[in-house]
Structure 1
Amino acid sequence: MAQISPSTKSSSADTQYDTTQNYTGPLVTVTLLFFMWGFITCLNDILIPKLQQVFTLQHWQAMLIQSAFFGAYFFISLLYFVFSVTKGDPIMKIGYKNGIIVGLVVAATGCGLFFPAASLESYGFFLGALFVLASGITILQIAANPYVTILGSPESAASRLNLTQALNSLGTTVAPLLGGWLIFEGADQLANNADSVKLPYIGLALALLLIAVFIKVSRLPQVQGEAKIAASSGALQYRHLVLGIICIFMYVGGEVAIGSTLINFFKLPEIGGLTESEGKHYLSFYWGGAMIGRFFGAIALSHGKSKSFKYGVIGLITAVAFITIFSIYGLDQALIALGLIALNFVVLLVAGFVPNRTLGYFAASVIALLLITCFAEGAVAMWAVIGIGLFNSIMFPTIFTLAIRGLGVHTSQGSSLLVMAIVGGAIIPPLQGYVADVSGNLQLSFLVPLFCYLYIVYYGFFGSKVEKTDPTALA
């Protein structure tokens, strides 16, 4: 079973952790990784309209950017799973820290490949660079997500993962603004070619290498497996994990499809008639909502805190968000955002701060917002789709935590299978793009991710329950 040295430990079916150790420092260090891969992943939403313009692509062809990126999650995780079945879990063999460093170096290599891709003006080269970049992030995901659940008590694992994912969302919030400025505005003289992507990705390559060095010299808790690591596919015996794999596929596919389509959606005359430069601000609202929602989730799903404390912290976060939006965008935008945040909080109250119920109610809320997106027009449709970010917020960390409950020594293997399911981000977006191209109606193409969220409702209320027959099931 995974364990953290040294001695005084509190145990659960999943982990053993040192109750005398302060995990704040290591958690802050690992959280930096979540920010970086959130930033990098969201840059794809800027790349899509940019490369669509440079290479004159149809919607489905531009969505191949997401296919290359999220396809890497599938292939690398599949290799990881096959290796773990035949040779034993590789992350448990080399340790989470070394796994994180390997992922950072591979991701930095992928970022560096953007320079020759832009120089050659080859769309295929760009897709290859994205695949390498995402391969590194896949390794990071396999190592970092379960590592966060281990850095503390199992009871607060969902809260910790929501907190780190909130910083991931900070990266996705900043990326449209900074990346959009660098790619669309910071190099206007290069607007008709791909050279404007060189600087952002070379900068990311250097940043990733610096973080790898920082991780190398940091004193992170040593987490390793038992002396004998079984070579088996034991994780697949858990029904809630198998259904969770499907749920991650659906969630990532739906989330990425929506985010990838937003700038083109905002450009529609009947919706907003915005330019790419104007649309990037509203894309930031979408991802900023996910950040706020994940901070809410980290507080609401935490254990050992009174409801009055939770309400107070959530109120403080809301006030900071309102003041920030008001100071940058004005009162009208701040009031709309406040209304959406209030709706999000009401749904949290209805769910009773219970992880699986919160997941189910949030997915149902997204379905309602998608229906408004499909059939309304103007500001109503635009803000409905932006509001989805708030309700997407807790989904990935909550699904992940629910799916790996009770896996014991199979936790890392289960994590690799869940990360493999992120391939949904490679399949659902092109499907939505194809529907938009064939129907000639980008707005109605949002019905594609709607079906993904129907499954998430099922998993939240029913599929996430741990079977009593599972050998190490948690109550």
Structure 2
Amino acid sequence: MAALSAQTESALNANHGQNHNYRFALGSLTTLFFLWGFITCLNDILIPHLKAVFDLSYGQAMLIQFCFFGAYFLVSIPASKIVAKHGFQKGIVIGLLVAAVGCAMFYPAASSHSYPVFLGALFTLASGITILQVSANPYVSTLGHVSTASSRLTMTQGFNALGTTVAPFFGAYLILDQAASAMSANESAQAVQLPYLLLASSLLVLAALFAWLKLPVVEQSASHEQMDDSKGSAWQYRHLTLGAMAIFLYVGAEVAIGSFLISFLSQENIAGITESEAAKYVAYYWGGAMVGRFVGALVMQKIAAGKVLAFNAVSAVLLLIVVLCSYGNIAMVAILLIGLCNSIMFPTIFSLALTGLKQHTSQGSGILCLAIVGGAIVPLLQGVFADIVGVQTAFILPMFCYLYIVYYGVKGHKVDLEK
């Protein structure tokens, strides 16, 4: 009995130590989620800033999002191979170092007054963030019991949303305010140097920290596709392919609206405010998404996820109709409220699309992640459209994106039981 008690106490102590290590690791990882949300949202500040510096059309300015989100499409598969070879922790360090190089590239881009170098810096930065996402998301899922994986991801994603809410204030003060007081286009371009050098320094400090930390080692299990790929593929599931299109259009619409917010609010017939002031309102758009995630998580415990998705998408369509048909404060409030509608869309579409995929779940998840490239394509199309018909009328494009999501929430997500 004494021996058994000692053995039990030893096991409990080991389990307690493991739980402590997991909590410490999760606490460390939340800084990454915050930082990449912060960096991603800064693009909404860069777009009007670089548009003015280089005298760009809206279509040319949207190349910022094209290069940034294009990296998700091009780098996701190489990133997964890096993580498979080096593990989650080293993958995080590599991602942080690559992102730091991308931030540092903003300095020569501003000094040389070169828009292509800026785009190269953004692609490099986004490549690092892609490696971070591929490393950190599955790592969070495996740090603890499988039954609580979704709650851990929701918690860390909340810090990602916090980053997107804080970033507009940072960008307004350190970029747009400084650019407004610049005496020349060159000086205006150089307003990005200090903020992105600060970000590069923060990323390097985090890389050193994660290289030094003794984080729990989690084995990566082989995917079902690797064990048995003789039973077709994820592409045979109609609700998955429709879900991939829904992710493509949702990310595209969300990013496009955020990208045009400052330009829209600064128009005389809407709010008529300076770009620096308009930038602060971007925080309400992304903050709404943060608040809505917590509310939506509670609502979906009582109401089917497909119905909640359809309701939010219908609400977004109605708000965009108001944006298209009104002016002043009404249009301004309507466009900002769309952030609240966006809140539950990505995780809900993602989970509905993966329902019933069984051994093809891993492949299906990869397909959905590639669909994030919608954040590169839709804003670019809206930019070209805005050059032709104007900023306000161009919001008809995300309206059609949300109409498709209404269809997916009502019917498209339903699983074909014959599979």
TM-score normalised by length of structure 1 = 0.76
Partner Cα distance (1:270, 1:35) in 2: 35
Tell me the alpha carbon deviations over residues 239-290 of structure 1, each in whole angstroms, 9 at most, x when there is no partner. Answer: 4333222121111100010000010100111111011011012111111111
Superposition deviation, residue 395 in structure 1: 1.6
Superposition deviation, residue 456 in structure 1: 1.6
Partner Cα distance (1:415, 1:97) in 2: 21
Superposition deviation, residue 39 in structure 1: 0.6
Matched residue, 1:465: 414
Superposition deviation, residue 116 in structure 1: 0.8
Whether the 8 Å CA contact 1:73–1:423 is kept in 2: the answer is yes
Please tell me whether residue 114 in structure 1 is matched to residue 106 in structure 2. Answer: yes
Matched residue, 2:384: 434
Matched residue, 1:284: 283
AA in 1 matched with 2:108: P
Partner Cα distance (1:392, 1:250) in 2: 12
Partner Cα distance (2:60, 2:159) in 1: 31
Specify every segment of 5 or more residues in structure 1 that has no aligned partner in the other structure, as ranges.
1-7, 9-17, 303-351, 471-475
Whether the 8 Å CA contact 2:54–2:115 is kept in 1: the answer is yes
Partner Cα distance (2:194, 2:254) in 1: 27
Partner Cα distance (1:190, 1:235) in 2: 56
Superposition deviation, residue 422 in structure 1: 1.3
Whether the 8 Å CA contact 2:39–2:167 is kept in 1: the answer is yes
AA in 2 matched with 1:355: A
Q: Does the residue aligned with 2:215 lie in a helix, a strand or coil?
A: coil
Whether the 8 Å CA contact 2:161–2:287 is kept in 1: the answer is yes
Tell me the alpha carbon deviations over residues 4-52 of structure 1, each in whole angstroms, 9 at most, x when there is no partner. Answer: xxxx9xxxxxxxxx9x846544333323222111111110110011111
Partner Cα distance (2:272, 2:58) in 1: 18
Whether the 8 Å CA contact 1:93–1:225 is kept in 2: the answer is no
Please tell me whether residue 183 in structure 1 is matched to residue 179 in structure 2. Answer: no
Q: How many residues align?
A: 396
Partner Cα distance (1:46, 1:246) in 2: 28
Whether the 8 Å CA contact 1:142–1:412 is kept in 2: the answer is no
Partner Cα distance (1:182, 1:267) in 2: 19
Whether the 8 Å CA contact 2:270–2:331 is kept in 1: the answer is yes
Matched residue, 2:4: none
Alignment of 1:293-308 (within 5 A): 293-301=292-300
Please tell me whether residue 199 in structure 1 is matched to residue 199 in structure 2. Answer: no
1:64–1:380 CA distance, 2 compared to 1 (3 A): same
Q: Does the residue aligned with 2:182 lie in a helix, a strand or coil?
A: helix
Q: Does the residue aligned with 2:101 lie in a helix, a strand or coil?
A: helix
Alignment of 1:187-266 (within 5 A): 188-189=181-182, 192=185, 193-216=188-211, 217-220=213-216, 222-226=218-222, 230=226, 234-266=233-265
Q: Does the residue aligned with 2:197 lie in a helix, a strand or coil?
A: helix
Matched residue, 1:345: none
Whether the 8 Å CA contact 2:172–2:277 is kept in 1: the answer is no
Matched residue, 2:64: 65
Superposition deviation, residue 294 in structure 1: 1.9
Partner Cα distance (1:412, 1:92) in 2: 14
Whether the 8 Å CA contact 1:162–1:397 is kept in 2: the answer is no
Please tell me whether residue 53 in structure 1 is matched to residue 52 in structure 2. Answer: yes
Greater share of residues in helix: 2
Alignment of 1:368-379 (within 5 A): 368-379=318-329
Whether the 8 Å CA contact 1:158–1:401 is kept in 2: the answer is no
Matched residue, 2:157: 165
Specify every segment of 5 or more residues in structure 2 that has no aligned partner in the other structure, as ranges.
1-10
1:414–1:90 CA distance, 2 compared to 1 (3 A): farther
1:394–1:464 CA distance, 2 compared to 1 (3 A): same
Matched residue, 2:94: 102
Please tell me whether residue 447 in structure 1 is matched to residue 401 in structure 2. Answer: no
1:77–1:417 CA distance, 2 compared to 1 (3 A): farther
AA in 2 matched with 1:381: A
Whether the 8 Å CA contact 2:164–2:287 is kept in 1: the answer is yes
Range 147-156 or range 54-63, more displaced = 147-156
Matched residue, 1:40: 39
Matched residue, 2:339: 389
Tell me the alpha carbon deviations over residues 81-129 of structure 1, each in whole angstroms, 9 at most, x when there is no partner. Answer: xxx8xxxx65445433333322222211111111111111100000011
AA in 2 matched with 1:380: I
- Please, which of 121, 128, 131 is the counterpart of residue 136 of structure 1? 128
1:29–1:223 CA distance, 2 compared to 1 (3 A): farther
Tell me the alpha carbon deviations over residues 113-171 of structure 1, each in whole angstroms, 9 at most, x when there is no partner. Answer: 11111111100000011111111112222333344444455555554433322211111
Whether the 8 Å CA contact 2:224–2:360 is kept in 1: the answer is no
Partner Cα distance (1:428, 1:228) in 2: 33
TM-score normalised by length of structure 2 = 0.85
Whether the 8 Å CA contact 1:142–1:415 is kept in 2: the answer is no
